[in-house]
Chains A and B, each alone.
Chain A
Amino acid sequence: MSAYKDYMDRVGVTPEEHEALLKNIEARAAEAANAPEQPQLRKKKPVYRWLAPAAAAAVLLLVIGISPLGLQRKGNVSQEREELPGKSESRIESVDEPAFEDAPVREPQADKPEHAAPLPDDEGSGSTGVKCETEKSEGPADSGIIPDKKDVQTGNPQQSSCSEAEEGRSFLQRGWHWFTEQLSRLYRSLFGTN
């Protein structure tokens, strides 16, 4: 390494370069001293420092916190569904009763079909659930028998609540699916991970 040291001994700033450097430094220092003080720009807060953990925490909270709610809702719906067959069965049983089938058509009701007949149609027209429609087809209105006022009251509200529950559940499922998809898309775009 002695050759290297010898060489570096010869390397240096020449007197001319020294003078030029000195002048330049002094000029620049004077310029900096005379220059009006510029208002310091406010330093931007490092957003990404807290954005990433916050987003991750939000996703976690949503996944942990909302999905049980969805499940709970689903559970309620299934409970409702569990309850429904019993009620509908009782209704169907009442329809299948031979005594009811064989029962003679009462005159006053036959005279006024516009009173009783439109009711099941009106009630069933709003429903979209498949199950509820089939139930409707089994209903007393399609069998040609004009239902009792009592049957209409007990049967149709059950149908509408079932269809609403089905509709609500599917809406929730679709909403949840869309929401989680958006979140995962956002997460992917933020962190570039799959």
Chain B
Amino acid sequence: MSGLEEVMKQYENTVFRTALSYTGDREDALDMVQETFLRWLTKRPEFASPEHEKAWLLRVCMNLCTNLIHSAARTRSEELLDIYPAKDEEEQGLLEEVMALGGEYRSVIYLYYYEGYSTKEIAEMRGTKESTVRSQLHRARKLLKDRLEGKE
């Protein structure tokens, strides 16, 4: 299949992490990666730039994840930290708290802190208001701060 392997090599990890941050489950995240690239292959959309292509893939992935989260067919198989263990206790504590957040908060944190998207870009990708993304980010940070301070 022309182009699929290149596109997958370029974006599969990004799509996988986004799906993982949303679902919190590795198997579900792999399913979402498969569905996302299948959409790409069947639709073959044209993009003005690689950034647009990445944003499109992330948007499709997030929509699929949202559908999955709201569906009853979802199963949690294994804890993420068991598959990808943390380096030290500090990282372990932080990641436990991040994983304890809801899927929407986790995905906002991932897209904002790891992928480096702005709140406006995240809102465009998710099809929501920028104010919604900002408030979700604010709540996620506050929750993390409160929990981490409470641990200490």
Interface residues of A (CB under 8 A from B): 1, 3-8, 10-13, 17-18, 21-22, 24-26, 28-29, 32
Is the CB–CB distance between A4 and B94 below 8 Å? yes
Contact yes or no, A1 B33, CB < 8 A: no
CA distance A32 to B13 in the complex (A): 25
- 6 residue pairs from A and B, CB less than 8 Å apart: A4-B114, A7-B95, A11-B84, A21-B8, A26-B41, A28-B38
Residue of B nearest to A28 (CB): B38
Q: How many residues of B contact A (CB 8 A)?
A: 29
| 16 further A-B pairs in the complex, CB-CB below 8 A; given A6-B91, A25-B37, A32-B42 | A3-B94, A4-B98, A4-B109, A4-B113, A4-B114, A6-B87, A7-B87, A7-B91, A11-B16, A13-B30, A18-B9, A21-B33, A22-B5, A24-B34, A28-B38, A29-B1
Contact B95 A29 (CB under 8 A): no
- Please state if B8 and A18 are interface contacts (CB–CB under 8 Å): yes
Nearest-neighbor residue (CB-CB) of B87 within chain A: A6
| B20 A21 Cβ-Cβ under 8 A | no
Give Cα A11–Cα B33 distance, bound, in whole angstroms. 14
Q: Which residues of B contact A (CB under 8 A)?
A: 1, 4-5, 8-9, 12-13, 16-17, 20, 30, 33-34, 37-38, 41-42, 84, 86-87, 90-91, 94-95, 98, 109-110, 113-114
Q: How far is the CB of B46 from chain A (nearest CB, A)?
A: 18
Across chains A and B, the number of contacting residue pairs, with CB separation under 8 Å, is: 66
The answer for the CA separation of A62 and B91 in the assembled complex, in Å, is 70
A32 to B44 alpha-carbon distance, docked (Å):
14
* B54 CB to nearest chain A CB (Å): 16
**CB–CB A5/B113 < 8 A:** yes
**A191 CA to B85 CA, complexed, in Å:** 53
Assuming the A-B contacts A4-B94, A13-B33, are A25 and B41 also in contact, with contact meaning beta carbons closer than 8 angstroms in the complex? yes
A24 CA to B8 CA, complexed, in Å: 13
Query: Which B residues lie within 8 Å of A3 (CB)?
Result: 90-91, 94-95
Q: Are B38 and A29 in contact (CB under 8 A)?
A: yes
**Residues in B whose Cβ lies below 8 Å from that of A22:** 4-5, 8
Residues A8 and B91 in contact, CB atoms below 8 Å apart: no
A32 CA to B35 CA in the complex, in Å?
A: 13
